[in-house]
A and B are shown apart, each in its own frame.
Chain A
Amino acid sequence: MKRSRWRVATEADVHLIVAESYKALEALGARPVQAAKFTTAVSELARNILKYADRGYIEFVELVEDNRVGMRAEVTDKGPGIADIELALADSYSSSGTLGLGLPGVRRLAHRFEIESEVGKGTRVLIEMWVR
């Protein structure tokens, strides 16, 4: 199982991570639509780190299960955390347009989405995409 861990502290980090994760998904056999969706979700989460937590990490893990393969991204930061996750995940709160954390959009772009957050401690988001 292949893993890679990236630090997110600058806009250049975000662009590099997006380009590398797109390439990795293509190598797994992802269709362009799948690669675009997953890497956009990664980009949104990485930008949230820069905006709200200053710095954090993204770990990619290639997934292999029975007859399918996929990719997991685990995004962690030690930022301020999210006080009301339910509200942040509510469509009416932050999905439309370009405001908010964009978490409802990220959830729609991935096959699996998990979030844990504690105020004052940080946030962990996990997303997965199965490609075949």
Chain B
Amino acid sequence: MIADATSRYPMQVSRGCVQVSFPSEVTDAMLREFRSELLRYVRDQSADSVVVDLSGLRVLDREEFRSLRATLDMTRLLGVHVVVTGLRPGVVAVITELDLHLPYPAGLDLDHGFDIVRTLRREEITS
């Protein structure tokens, strides 16, 4: 497992899968920084998948959602599988009430997220 010591956001890679925790209670500038660091790390590690842990998020407004969604979309465009995990019920309720869309597979927790990654890899091989 290789952790990125240069990033202020906890990221590590294991067997081609990057695991990262989305920061909570951060500024818009920090969210942009998070995006560039994640994209760089995924490319540098030649990862094939990313599991984004969102369990730290208690509140997510539309502006923050837009930033998160753009980060995930860009990561997907690098050609890697993207899975989100740990969404809290409050954030899920808000996403639904505000009619926002997060078109990525979601897992209850990290273990579930890694299971989804394995399934996505298998589907890629057989398709």
List residues of A whose CB falls within 8 A of some B CB: 11-12, 15, 18-19, 22, 32-37, 39-40, 43-44, 47, 95-98, 102, 105, 108-109
- Check: B78 CB closer than 8 A to any chain A CB: no
Q: A32-B89, A36-B91, A98-B65 are in contact. Are A22 and B58 (CB under 8 A)?
A: yes
Q: Which residues of B contact A22 (CB under 8 A)?
A: 58-59
With A39-B59, A44-B61, A98-B66 as contacts: A109 and B97 at CB distance below 8 Å:
yes
CB–CB A19/B25 < 8 A: yes
Considering the chains assembled together, what is the distance between the CA atoms of A91 and B1 in angstroms? Answer: 47
Given known A15-B27, A108-B97, contact A36–B62 (CB-CB < 8 A): no
Which A residues touch B98, using CB under 8 A?
A: 40, 95, 102, 105, 108-109
Task: With A11-B28, A43-B59 as known contacts, state yes or no: A97 contacts B94, CB within 8 Å.
Answer: no
Residues of A within 8 A of B61 (CB): 18, 40, 43-44, 47
- CB < 8 Å: which of A33, A40, A102 contacts B89? A33
Known: A36-B91, A37-B93, A47-B63. A105 touches B28 (CB 8 A): no
Q: Which residues of A contact B100 (CB under 8 A)?
A: 97-98
Quick one: given A105-B97, A108-B97, are A36 and B28 in contact (CB under 8 Å)? no
Measured between beta carbons, the chain B residues less than 8 angstroms from A43 are 59, 61, 63
Interface residues on B, range: 20 to 34
Bound complex: CA of A95 vs CA of B94, how far in Å? 12
Q: Answer whether A32 and B58 are a contact pair too, CB < 8 Å, given A11-B28, A37-B93, A95-B99.
A: yes
Q: Give the docked Cα–Cα distance between A51 and B27 (Å).
A: 16
Chain B nearest CB, measured from A108 CB (Å): 5
Task: Give me 22 A-to-B residue pairs in the complex whose CB atoms sit less than 8 angstroms apart, sorted by A's number.
Answer: A11-B27, A15-B25, A32-B58, A33-B89, A33-B90, A33-B93, A36-B59, A36-B89, A36-B90, A36-B94, A37-B90, A37-B97, A40-B59, A40-B94, A43-B59, A98-B65, A98-B100, A105-B98, A108-B97, A109-B94, A109-B97, A109-B98
CA distance A19 to B25 in the complex (A): 8
Q: Which residues 71-127 of B have a CB within 8 angstroms of A?
A: 88-91, 93-94, 97-101
